[in-house]
Amino acid sequence: MKLATAVVHAGVRRDPSTGAVAVPIYQSATFQHPALGQSTGYDYSRTRNPTRSALEEAIARLEGGSRGLAFSSGMAAIHCALQLLGPDDHLVLTEDLYGGTYRLVENILQRRCTYVDTSRPEAVRAALRPNTKAVLVESPTNPVMRTADIPVLANLAHEAGALLVVDNTFLTPCLQRPLELGADLVVHSATKYLSGHNDVVAGALVAKDAALGERLAYFQNGIGAILGPQDSYLVIRGLKTLALRMERHQANAREVAGWLASHPLVERVFYPGVGGMLSFTVTDAALVPRVLASVRLCLFAESLGGVETLITYPATQTHADIPAARREELGITDRLLRLSVGIEDVHDIIADLSEALAGAHTLRELRHAPLAHGS
């Protein structure tokens, strides 16, 4: 079955007693035992719930993995994955990664870690230590869209006795399947493209092999940051249009990136050629607040991957926890804006950005214009 078909049939045939096409929402915390020492496979919803199981099996299938696990957020999923490391273990991470991951690793878990440009395999090789147990990669990175050679990094990690963990939130299994490229574990903020409608917060892990999946399931149950049945249902519903949405996101993003690249007020566009995410820098930081105030179709909001186009200012939003000097080094400057390109008509998206940039430029010129004589 092709992926575009598999997403449509996510959760189907889960209720043979009624033939319900949509997966039922099992809004139950506990389940009756048939008899002493017997179980239906469902005892308590923190451990396992039928609606969540439908989602977890669907995600595992889409990523080509052995075990899928659904969480209450993407950060909860990453937190669970990091339980694979002990207190003395070393972690290598993408240097320009999502600010929430940086906050978790650096300020909360305080892991032994090294940040490197994971688009450069030689930098990853140099960062590996005898106690390195995992390499955590975003590809493309958030927000400057660097891409990693996943097969090469998988070989480097495995030679060092480490796992390769890939955040596949931006591309989804429609555009990239890291496990088939050699990764051991895939992480998603399912809030984003998997659910696709900005109406649910969720996370997911997919393990390549059963043993790793069992270890993670143990942590998932013990920590308890699981996804509830209502939200599991919403993610399953979103998955059904994933392939169609990703086609439109990508087609629109390519056209918007090309238009931005030719705009006189845009200094640089960051777009890897795939997916619906891009970033761009404007020629003057003074343009940023005016653009954000002027957009009408594009929504000035955090998050990404929904059907609506969102514009974000990473320096003060998604990456505020990274020190300012470090942000500058990584290219997350006060002139950088990030776009999650939606599935609207692309001409409307471009028209909105065009009007916002034109209005911002006009206001800037008026602010800096010399006063007329006698004024």
Which among 352, 348, 357, 188 is positioned nearest to 252, based on CA atoms? Answer: 348
Instruction: Based on the fold, state whether residues 58 and 177 are members of the same structural domain.
Output: yes
First CA to last CA distance, the chain = 73
Instruction: Based on the fold, state whether residues 32 and 180 are members of the same structural domain.
Output: yes
Residue 107 vs residues 97, 104, 110, 188, 330: alpha-carbon distances, Å: 15, 6, 5, 21, 19
Bond into 143 cis (ω within 30): yes
Burial class of residue 9, CB neighbours in 10 A (0-12, 13-18, 19+): middle
- Identified catalytic residue from 52, 61, 67, 192: 192
In a domain, 103, yes or no: yes
- The pair of three-digit structure tokens given for residue 373, joined into one six-digit string: 């004589």
Structural domain range at position 65: 3-240
- Identified catalytic residue from 52, 96, 115, 167: 167
In a domain, 201, yes or no: yes
Instruction: Based on the fold, state whether residues 210 and 160 are members of the same structural domain.
Output: yes
Compute the distance between CA of residue 256 and CA of residue 346 in angstroms, rounded to an integer: 7
- Identified catalytic residue from 14, 52, 98, 231: 98
Q: What is residue 273's predicted lDDT score, i.e. its pLDDT?
A: 97
In a domain, 375, yes or no: no
Instruction: Based on the fold, state whether residues 143 and 257 are members of the same structural domain.
Output: no
Instruction: Based on the fold, state whether residues 234 and 291 are members of the same structural domain.
Output: no
Question: Does 89 participate in catalysis according to the annotation?
Answer: no
Question: Does 192 participate in catalysis according to the annotation?
Answer: yes
- 3-class DSSP state of 146: coil
Looking at 175, 208, 240, the residue that finishes a domain is 240
Q: What is residue 375's predicted lDDT score, i.e. its pLDDT?
A: 31
Instruction: Based on the fold, state whether residues 39 and 177 are members of the same structural domain.
Output: yes
Instruction: Based on the fold, state whether residues 118 and 219 are members of the same structural domain.
Output: yes
Question: Does 184 participate in catalysis according to the annotation?
Answer: no
Q: What is residue 373's predicted lDDT score, i.e. its pLDDT?
A: 37
CA angle 250, 254, 257 (to 5 degrees): 130
In a domain, 119, yes or no: yes
Looking at 200, 217, 240, the residue that finishes a domain is 240
Q: What is residue 365's predicted lDDT score, i.e. its pLDDT?
A: 57
In a domain, 257, yes or no: yes
- Count of structural domains within the chain: 2
- The pair of three-digit structure tokens given for residue 158, joined into one six-digit string: 């495995």
pLDDT tens-place string over residues 228-267: 999 999 999 999 999 999 999 999 999 999 999 999 999 9
Question: Does 167 participate in catalysis according to the annotation?
Answer: yes
Residue ranges for the chain with pLDDT beneath 50: 366, 369-375
Residue 138, φ and ψ in degrees, nearest 5: -100, 135
- Identified catalytic residue from 46, 111, 125, 215: 46
